[in-house]
Structure 1
Amino acid sequence: MRRVRYEAAGGPLFVEEAAVPEPGSGELLVRCEAVGVTLPVVRKVAEAAEPVPLGGEVAGTVVAGEGVSRFRTGDRVTGLCFGHGYADFALLREAMASPVPDHATCVDAVALLRSGLVALGVLDAAGPVRGQAVLVTAAASGVGQLAVRLARVRGARRVVGAVSDPAKAGFVRSLGADDCVRYGDERWGEPYDCVLDAVGGDLLAPALAALAPHGRLVAYSSGGGTVRAYDLLVGAKSVIGFQMALIARGRPELYERWRRELWRLFSDGTLKPAVHGEFALEDAAKAHEAIAARTNLGKVVLRP
């Protein structure tokens, strides 16, 4: 089979021939039909001291399993792969796998499910947003685009997207946002009751400043950053951290409820994820470049 790998920090990515992996206990062997490319994986390639397997969201057809009970050969599944996911075949722990409905494609699955679970999670972490003003950073990303749509579904009075490039404004408004602002703008409009931040780093300070008194900043970025306690005190503001892995491990019932909600919204046409592009395995480097340069409008997907 083909597999994408790299040998040193920063790449380059290349395709190699490798043996098809054999599932261990509790694992499914999946023929990959779609693989979601994420910012954390792109950052690992650029920053990790040692090469790591290129894992992430995969969707495809089960071809084998070992010690599994929920899925059979021929079932379509999606889930998070912690090993080599940029490949023709990948191993997926049964506990991390979810069925792909008949009315959805595997591209739909990787564009909707993991990113949608994060988007729903940060909205739940923020608390009720009905009647409130919500700002979503990285609004054109795989998660951000769904957070914009879901904030509207949850009844937000005003939804604004923040992006790195003003050329993305039309796309963000097409998602249902009332307005779009740029990170470098001096002001981001009216104060917000809630900011959902996927960027972190230097953007944390302006994101916090954009909050109204008693506002909430939900931070779910892998980009780091710090905030000053004084900036929280003067406006009685809150910063809430969110990590999907903790939910998946510690609250599986909530994870499952979010999953059902996402597919219901997809099925009735309320929620449709945007896909920036579909890349062959041989073009994995181009897929990473789209995310690293922040030019993507929606989810970036590999098609083995």
Structure 2
Amino acid sequence: MRRVRYESAGGPLFLEETPVPEPGPGELLLRCEAIGVTLPVVRKVAAAAPPIALGGEVAGRVTAVGGGVDRFRVGERVTGLCFGHGYADFALVRQTMASPVPDDASAVDAVALVRSGLVALGALTAARPEHGETALVTAAASGVGHLAVQLARTRGAGRVVGAVSAPAKSAFVRAVGADEVVVYDTDDWGAPADYVLDAVGGDLLTPAVAALAPGGRLVAYSSGGGSVQAYDLLVGAKSVIGFQMAHVAREKPQLYERLRRELWRLFAQGTLRPSVHGRFALEDAGEAHAVIESRRNLGKVVLVP
């Protein structure tokens, strides 16, 4: 089978031929039909030495199962997280991290919706939204962000603001449901927000906290780091909540399952629509990474073997 790898930090991605892996206990072997490209993986490729396995979201059909697998059978369509080599024709997924793909959804729909949607919906749930509140979503044009904009509305937001890195993204963010769009490097982020869903971190945390109304909540789920001044929280009785989807998957499986079911329900209703920026062949994985590195993507970037 074909697999994407690289040899040094920041080095080019290339294809290699390697044997199809065997599923171990509790694992599924999928023939990949779609593979999600994420910012954390792109960042790791830029910095990781020695090289890491390119894992992440995959969707496809089960071709083999390991011992102890009792929830899935060969031939079923599944999406899930691959912690090994996911940029490949075949990938291994743990049964505990897999979920079925409905008949009316494509593999591309699945990788654009499930993991990104779980992060967006989980972060939104952590914000404890109340009906009529104002939501502000950073990285609003990203794979997670454009779903968070839609989900905030389903949870009763009276006003949804999308924050983006460039004005060229404004039309897309409005099209997915934002009432207003602000650009990071502007001083005015509009009327204060009751909660912020932040996927950027770093230097953006300070203006994001400043954009909160008194008593507001910021949910931080970025891999970008950053820090917040305690005084900025004290003066407005504001709070920062850290959110990590992996923690929910490990420690709160019932919540994880509820969130997953909610995503597919909203998708079936037509209330939640994932947008795909581009579909790239495996041999074009480097180009897919470049789109995310340059912040050009509008929605999800997907590899299609």
TM-score, structure 1 normalization: 0.99
Q: Distance in 1 between matches of 2:188 and 2:49?
A: 38
Q: May I ask how many residue pairs the two structures share in their alignment?
A: 304
1:301 shift after superposition: 0.2
Cα distance per residue 1:170-208 (max 9 Å; x no partner): 000001100101000111000111011000000000000
Q: Distance in 2 between matches of 1:85 and 1:31?
A: 10
Q: Distance in 2 between matches of 1:50 and 1:280?
A: 25
1:69 shift after superposition: 1.0
Q: Distance in 1 between matches of 2:174 and 2:194?
A: 20
Q: Hey, what does 1:40 align to over in structure 2?
A: 40
Instruction: Mark the runs of 5 or more structure 1 residues left unpaired by the alignment.
Output: none
Query: Map of 1:56-71 to 2, 5 A cutoff?
Result: 56-67=56-67, 68-71=69-72
Asked if residue 25 in structure 1 is aligned to residue 25 in structure 2, the reply is yes
SS, match of residue 80 in structure 1: strand
Whether the 8 Å CA contact 2:15–2:282 is kept in 1: the answer is yes
Asked if residue 230 in structure 1 is aligned to residue 223 in structure 2, the reply is no
Whether the 8 Å CA contact 1:129–1:151 is kept in 2: the answer is no
SS, match of residue 155 in structure 1: coil
Whether the 8 Å CA contact 1:133–1:194 is kept in 2: the answer is yes
Whether the 8 Å CA contact 2:129–2:195 is kept in 1: the answer is no
Q: Distance in 1 between matches of 2:297 and 2:80?
A: 22
Whether the 8 Å CA contact 2:30–2:64 is kept in 1: the answer is yes
Instruction: Mark the runs of 5 or more structure 2 residues left unpaired by the alignment.
Output: none
Q: Hey, what does 1:10 align to over in structure 2?
A: 10
Q: Distance in 2 between matches of 1:290 and 1:182?
A: 19
Moved >3 Å (runs of 4+): none
Q: Hey, what does 2:244 align to over in structure 1?
A: 243
Query: Map of 1:167-246 to 2, 5 A cutoff?
Result: 167-246=168-247
Q: Distance in 1 between matches of 2:5 and 2:154?
A: 39
1:95 shift after superposition: 1.0
Cα distance per residue 1:242-264 (max 9 Å; x no partner): 00000000000000001111001
Q: Hey, what does 1:254 align to over in structure 2?
A: 255
How high is the sequence identity, in percent, across the aligned residues?
75
SS, match of residue 142 in structure 1: coil
SS, match of residue 113 in structure 1: helix
1:49 shift after superposition: 2.5
Q: Distance in 1 between matches of 2:115 and 2:18?
A: 27
